[in-house]
Amino acid sequence: MNCKKLFLFFGCLSLVLFFFSCSSGSKKKESKQTCNPAKPNVVAYVAGYRSFDFTTIDASKLTHINYAFVNSCNGEVVFDTTKIDGKALTPKDIEALNSLKKTNPELKVLASVGGWSWSKGFSDAALSPESRSKFAASCVRMVTQYQLDGIDIDWEYPNQSGAGNTFRPEDVHNFTLLLKAVREALDQQTATANSGTHYLLTIATGADHDYVKNTEPGELQQYVDFINIMTYDFYNGWHKTTGHHSNLFHSANPELDKNSITDAVDLYLKAGVPAHKLNLGIPFYGRIWEGVKSSERNGLFQDAETVGSGIDFVNFAEKINKDGFTRYWDDAAKSPYLWNPEKKTFISYEDEESIRLKMEYLKQKGLGGVMFWEYSADYQKRLQNAISENLIRK
């Protein structure tokens, strides 16, 4: 909800209380969003290319589902049925996700455009008023055709090559203009249909200085309902040194541990994004290094023979404190990791303790909620339950 429209809340909240729950000090206009501190966002990315039964999703603990992914081809958002990992994406996935509203009528289902592999068309789509208008019109078609509640834009990344994508210096401002065009097109659809529906527009964003430097978070935030910060992959598939990939704070070795969730949040707040529009990203996967060359610090911050490949929580959860894998805890970083000295294997990951501390931090900062990647990677819903149990504001 636009925080200027205070009259909608006179029956529930005083002006002072509303100001402190929704304001971050930014003078910029904000998009329409319900600011409800008692019900934080819980946004689940669900991969259409993963083979799992959507009916097993516990929708009662979610506020939003982002279907990953739809593509941007020839400047338009389209449902790409290309096979990924041997599984073809299908519009029936959207029907299955929408059916979860039977158990949670307040659930919102969005289509996420792009992602790491499908961000090639964004720079061209954002380039001119005509191309932005074309892209925005296709977003409207997407939400109306598939009865979606909105669109999530996952451009990886403006003015950066990402997976070898086209990029331009103009991306920095054009991304803001693209979001403006989409916001206006969605609002026009609401007005034309006279439905009163507010279509959501959200984005997934990077968690480092380069991303913030190459975008305009303080400007673009007025067009989006919230921002899902990908606060993970700090150590990742580019690194042949082990490290935390989603640490809350810096470790005791800041020269080796240069990124953290608190750093990322501060970047966005200083850029002018209201706290309640920020969702923390929680990884339901770890990063695994093989052939670690030293047992110092139980394998932490050591050179390895491999880069940090992704490994789903479901694929190693049963190994914690078993089969030679010992769980260690970096108390400075508030981050767990596994070390197997015999196999020389190191895994950085998320667990119930680290999630609890992140939820405490989130509430202290007045952030909007969480998002996580990716639903099917959880093991016995341990991580989802940890989020739900610790996120209720007290």
Range of the domain at 249: 25-284+352-391
CA–CA distance, 287 with 245 (Å, rounded to integer):
7
State the Cα angle at 194 between 193 and 196, rounded to 5°: 115
DSSP per residue over 165-213, as a string? ----TTHHHHHHHHHHHHHHHHHHHHHHHT-----EEEEEE--SHHHHH
Side chain identity, residue 270: K
* Per-residue pLDDT band at 38 (split at 50, 70, 90): low
Of 112, 148, 150, 177, nearest to 33 by C-alpha is 150
Q: What is the pLDDT of residues 165-218, one digit of tens each?
A: 999 999 999 999 999 999 999 999 999 998 899 999 999 999 999 999 999 999
Side chain identity, residue 320: I
Backbone torsions φ then ψ of 180, nearest 5 degrees: -60, -45
Q: Is 156 a catalytic residue?
A: yes
pTM of the shown model: 0.90
Computed over every residue of the chain, the mean pLDDT equals 91
Q: Which helix (H) or strand (E) holds 220?
A: helix 217-220
Spatial contact of 104 and 59, defined as CB atoms under 8 Å apart = yes
Q: Report the number of distinct structural domains present in the chain.
A: 1
Of 333, 332, 161, 200, nearest to 279 by C-alpha is 200
Q: Which of 30, 76, 106, 156 is catalytic?
A: 156
CA–CA distance, 147 with 127 (Å, rounded to integer):
28
Q: Which helix (H) or strand (E) holds 280?
A: strand 278-283
Q: Is residue 111 part of a domain?
A: yes
Does residue 26 register a pLDDT over 80? no
- pLDDT value of residue 253: 81
Q: Is residue 11 part of a domain?
A: no
Q: Is residue 306 part of a domain?
A: no
Q: What is the pLDDT of residues 49-101, one digit of tens each?
A: 998 899 999 999 999 999 999 999 999 999 998 888 778 899 999 999 999 99
Q: What is the pLDDT of residues 238-284, one digit of tens each?
A: 999 999 999 999 999 877 888 999 999 999 999 999 999 999 999 99
Q: Is residue 150 part of a domain?
A: yes
Q: Is residue 48 part of a domain?
A: yes
Q: Is residue 4 part of a domain?
A: no
Q: What is the pLDDT of residues 327-352, one digit of tens each?
A: 999 999 999 999 999 999 999 999 99
Q: Is residue 123 part of a domain?
A: yes
Q: Is residue 337 part of a domain?
A: no
Q: Give the CATH number of the domain where residue 109 resides.
A: 3.20.20.80
Spatial contact of 88 and 48, defined as CB atoms under 8 Å apart = no
Residues 6+ apart with CB under 8 A from 224: 31, 179, 183, 201, 202, 203, 277
Residues 6+ apart with CB under 8 A from 94: 67, 109, 111, 146, 147, 148
